[in-house]
Amino acid sequence: MRKNKGRTNRRRIFLVAAAAMTLLIVCALAVILNGQEEYVPQVQAAQMNVERSQVYLDGKGYKLDKQQEKIHKQQEKQREEKLKQKQETQKDQKTAPKRIRPGSVKPANPGSGNKKKPDSGKKKPDKRTEPTDPTKEEPTKPSKTEDPTDPTDPTKSEEERAMEPTIKISVAGGEVVNGTRLDFSVTVTDYKGRNIPVFSESDGSFMVSCNGEPLSSEGADGSKTWFRTALKDGKNTIAVTAVDREGHDKTKTVNFTGNTSAAAEVTGEVYVSVSAEILNLGAFYEGTIEITRGDTAKDVLETALSQAGIDPTFRGGYLSGISRSGIAQGAYITDEVRTTMEELRKTEKDPADQDPNKLKEHDFYDSSGWIYSVNGTFPERGLGSYKLEDGDELNLIFSLADGVY
């Protein structure tokens, strides 16, 4: 009994000692941890350049820098005031009376908007030049840089006039034009020589009118843009107003005389052919057509098809089809052409669906249509915008696909 009781007492003492040791270790660790500094992760906002940002994250919430917002608003207000002041200065310069320096070249049109002082009959000789005969009047001569048909704007400074767009019109001032219509071109460039199109969002633009009626473009040929207008007897006026990408503007007018009772002058002749060789139908028309000033490929084709008794269908400057009784009768495709179309993965349509009195786009194949060439070259623009010249050869061809005709 005593032996067992001794063992039990020793076990209790050991457990109490272990518990006390564990408690001591826990207390020691608590003291050590309590003495350590709290770890705080580095705030990235402290490394930011706050001068470049009004709003940023500081790690503790979303915060707005009121002081920087105030500075920003002040800067924006200053910019607006400077811009407004600049616009008012430019407006004052345009409306201010033009000062003419002694000895400077007179404007090409001195009478527009200005009243002449009464002539006293006496002229003072210019001390810087040789004396002139007072009985003779010296005519006003435009400067070398001025266009007599394009008077300068007296409200603009020399620097502003130097930056105006350059406008070229193919009709000469005072010219007599016979016929009932006129085709002419307009070329507009800015002061750096860059082309200004008839309309764009970033490169400037220009507008054209004749006798007060606005005109639409008939197409472009390089830097030239073509227009067509009906003529009236007597005085006709073409006006072109242009503005470049920097806002510099210019208006030019040309006055000419129309003679609608006289026939338009013939400027040459062109050879014309209309054919569908790929369908083994041969040529529908071959001949020579006289052309007048400004005639396009569309104008000439309308004349040729009319002589052949064929009715054309145009969509703008594109010929979509022609019609005449039996014009497509007997059309067929050779095995060689059919093999070529199969290699191009084109599917032939049912011949029974073909209208024998018409030959139009998408006939026989979905890829078919009318194409034209001038002097062996296929232009990349519509028939209505291609101007023909004397000696040109115009061919209208029916094609089944690109390169198959």
pLDDT cut 70: percent of the chain above it: 70
Q: How far apart are CA 380 and CA 137, in angstroms?
A: 57
Q: What is the 3-state secondary structure (H, E, C) of the chain?
A: CHHHHHHHHHHHHHHHHHHHHHHHHHHHHHHHHHCCCCCCCCCHHHHCCHHHCCEEECCCCEEECHHHHHHHHHHHHHHHHHHHHHHHHHHHHHHCCCCCCCCCCCCCCCCCCCCCCCCCCCCCCCCCCCCCCCCCCCCCCCCCCCECCECCCCCCCHHHHHCCCEEEECCCCCCEEECCEEEEEEEEECCCCCECCCCCCCCCEEEEEECCEECCEEEEECCEEEEEEECCCEEEEEEEEEECCCCCEEEEEEEEEEECCCCCCEEEEEEEEEECHHHCCCEEEEEEEEEECCCEHHHHHHHHHHHCCCEEEEECCEEEEEECCCCCCCCCCCHHHHHHHHHCCCCCCCHHHCCCCEEECCCCCCCCEEEEEECCECCCCCHHHCECCCCCEEEEEEECECCEC
How far out from the chain centre does Cα 336 lie?
A: 45
Q: What is the pLDDT of residue 312?
A: 96
* CATH 2.60.40.10, the chain: domain bounds: 158-259
- Amino acid of residue 38: E
Q: What is the pLDDT of residue 142?
A: 37
Q: What is the pLDDT of residue 150?
A: 62
Backbone angles phi, psi at 233, to 5 degrees: -65, 140
- Amino acid of residue 279: L
Do residues 196 and 149 touch, judged by C-beta distance below 8 A?
A: no
Per CATH, which fold does 266-399 belong to?
Ferric Hydroxamate Uptake Protein; Chain A, domain 1 (2.170.130)
Do residues 226 and 185 touch, judged by C-beta distance below 8 A?
A: yes
Question: Which overall architecture, per CATH, does domain 158-259 show?
Answer: Sandwich (2.60)
Do residues 240 and 207 touch, judged by C-beta distance below 8 A?
A: yes
Residue ranges, the chain, pLDDT below 70 = 1-7, 35-72, 75, 79, 82-84, 86-152
Task: Report the mean per-residue pLDDT for the chain.
Answer: 79
Q: What is the pLDDT of residues 267-295, one digit of tens each?
A: 999 999 999 999 999 999 999 999 999 99
Pick the closest to residue 259 from 184, 181, 183 (CA basis). Answer: 181
Q: What is the pLDDT of residue 106?
A: 36
A 10 A CB-CB count for 204 gives 24
Cβ neighbors of 359 (< 8 A, separation 6 or more) are 276, 279, 281, 321, 322, 323, 327, 328, 331, 398
- Angle at CA of residue 306, ends 267 and 289, nearest 5°: 25
Q: How far apart are CA 239 and CA 229, in angstroms?
A: 12
Q: What is the pLDDT of residue 11?
A: 76
Q: How far apart are CA 149 and CA 175, in angstroms?
A: 12
Q: What is the pLDDT of residues 35-73, one digit of tens each?
A: 665 555 555 544 544 444 443 334 444 444 566 666 667
Q: What is the pLDDT of residue 284?
A: 97
- Amino acid of residue 337: V
* CATH 2.170.130.30, the chain: domain bounds: 266-399
Pick the closest to residue 179 from 268, 300, 293, 269 (CA basis). Answer: 293
